[in-house]
Amino acid sequence: MSAQRILVTGSTGYVGGRLVPRLLDAGHQVRVVVRSPQKLRDVPWAGQVEIVEGSLQDTDAMAAACADIDVLYYLVHSMTGRGDFESEERAAAESVASAAKNAGVSRIVYLGGLHPDVPDLSRHLRSRALVGTTLLASGVPTVAFQAGVVIGSGSTSFEMIRHLTEVLPYMPAPKWVRNRIQPIAIRDVLHYLIAAIDLPSDVNRTFDIGGPDILRYGQMMNGYAVEAGLPQRAIAALPVLTPWLASQWVNLVTPIPRRIAVPIIESLQHDCVMNEHDIDAVIAPPDGGLTGYRRAVRLALAKINDGDVETSWQNASVDGAPSDPLPSDPDWAGHTVFIDLKVRETDASPAQLWTVIEGIGGDNGWYSFPLAWALRGWLDKLVGGVGLRRGRRHAQELQTGDALDFWRVESIEHEKHLRLRAEMLVPGKAWLEMQIEPGENGRSRYRQRAVFFPSGLSGRLYWLAILPFHGIIFNGMANRITLEAEQRPA
């Protein structure tokens, strides 16, 4: 594959944000066009691309964006369903098609939606098909991929499966949970998108793409449950739930906004499987074959299952895996995370603070509401956990891997941070992190963060149950630690 000059529209979206770094890794020159460049502020590759500010309907911006471009990726689609968005989608596609034709672009690559050949498509799928038709008629060789549910952390369809499955042990659902769907892993979508660069110039058509599994929507939810370590979910298909009512239900029990849930649910009214497999004749499957649904879910959950809390928290940095979260993903994407953050400015130096932090637990206690800590340890022991009084190896020094009451030292950096992983029995995964930031004139900032990844409905109820105590325990803990540090010898 020779290096190409590539324009990506939709670079702040789910697929575009994962495609750009892979194009850069392959040695291509990448330009992106965005309405708001500040949305790219935190993505790790922002400094490696050329950014053109403007909308797809801005003819001047698109002319500048398409200049000297070889391949254009069209990865933009409205999910709001508000107003006459079909006309807006058509106008945007016509604007891009005209700019690409005038600039002599060699190839357009579009990602649309997999859909059956029926007259009553949802507005969402109908508009995506219309965009594909517009680009195919542009006079620029175009490949329009048609994919179904994309599996990966941050994908809207996957996030709906994730949140519904984790929250609801029993789900009254519309009859479309019995419809057949052919999901595809995000890594396989990226494989096809990148391989399309080298397609011959006479290829100008749609291609259905999908993974190796055809499942009912209910099976997808229970497949997620198995990979997430949750019990199988009881799902009852109810004919009375209309798409509108179902979207209200999704909006109630998940963080996905109703304006996004509505077009997704409307698009689930029919089977969504590949009508043809012609793609195999022009683009070979990835090495090792296409990714099965359960493995795709496993990859999307890998960071949490591996205990890699740094890359699982929202807005965290990523290591490049296509199923990982990105800073540009919406706030409701990713595993549900509950955080209790306390920040204190103190006259204590980092060294003074560290002596208190490293000496925490064991006989020194937890600097707040000792009765509550003792009760939590007793309850943990009662249900078969390790209990609070496991103590610590050394009275003042900690090392990675040390047991610390019902915690385990997961990460430690002298005078900077201590992260503890909970080993008490809780319906989820929990961490307690204490950080020190040096300030001016010998002062410090103390940051204390409790993080909880709930498992299912019981995990969410557990967090809500203990939330009233956090104001007492964690506030008191932050106050006492900084006060104690100020009294230590400088």
pLDDT confidence bin for 455, thresholds 50/70/90: confident
Smallest Cα–Cα separation from 188: which of 92, 98, 259, 111? Answer: 111
Side-chain-side CA neighbours of 157 within 13 Å: the count stands at 23
Smallest Cα–Cα separation from 292: which of 336, 226, 235, 230? Answer: 226
Name the more confident of 330 and 395. Answer: 395
pLDDT at 63 over 90: yes
Query: Hey, where are the domains in the chain?
Result: 5-307, 338-487
Residues 145-176: pLDDT tens digits?
Answer: 999 999 988 888 888 888 888 877 777 667 77
d(CA 458, CA 37) in angstroms, rounded, equals 40
- DSSP string of 388-448? GGG-BSSSS---TT-EETTEEEEEEETTTEEEEEE-S--SEEEEEEEEEEE-GGG-EEEEE
d(CA 351, CA 489) in angstroms, rounded, equals 10
- Number of neighbouring beta carbons within 10 Å of residue 469: 12
Q: What is the sign of the dihedral through the CA atoms of 25, 26, 31 and 35?
A: negative
Q: What is the mean pLDDT of residues 295-322?
A: 53
- For residue 100, give Cα distances in angstroms to 10, 35, 92: 16, 18, 12
216, β-bridge pairs: 180
Smallest Cα–Cα separation from 422: which of 390, 465, 446, 398? Answer: 390
Q: Would you identify the CATH topology of the domain 338-487?
A: Alpha-D-Glucose-1,6-Bisphosphate; Chain A, domain 4 (3.30.530)
pLDDT confidence bin for 201, thresholds 50/70/90: very high
pLDDT confidence bin for 409, thresholds 50/70/90: very high
Would you state the structure tokens that stand for residue 312, as one six-digit string? Answer: 């699982």
Side-chain-side CA neighbours of 105 within 13 Å: the count stands at 32
CATH assignment, 5-307:
3.40.50.720
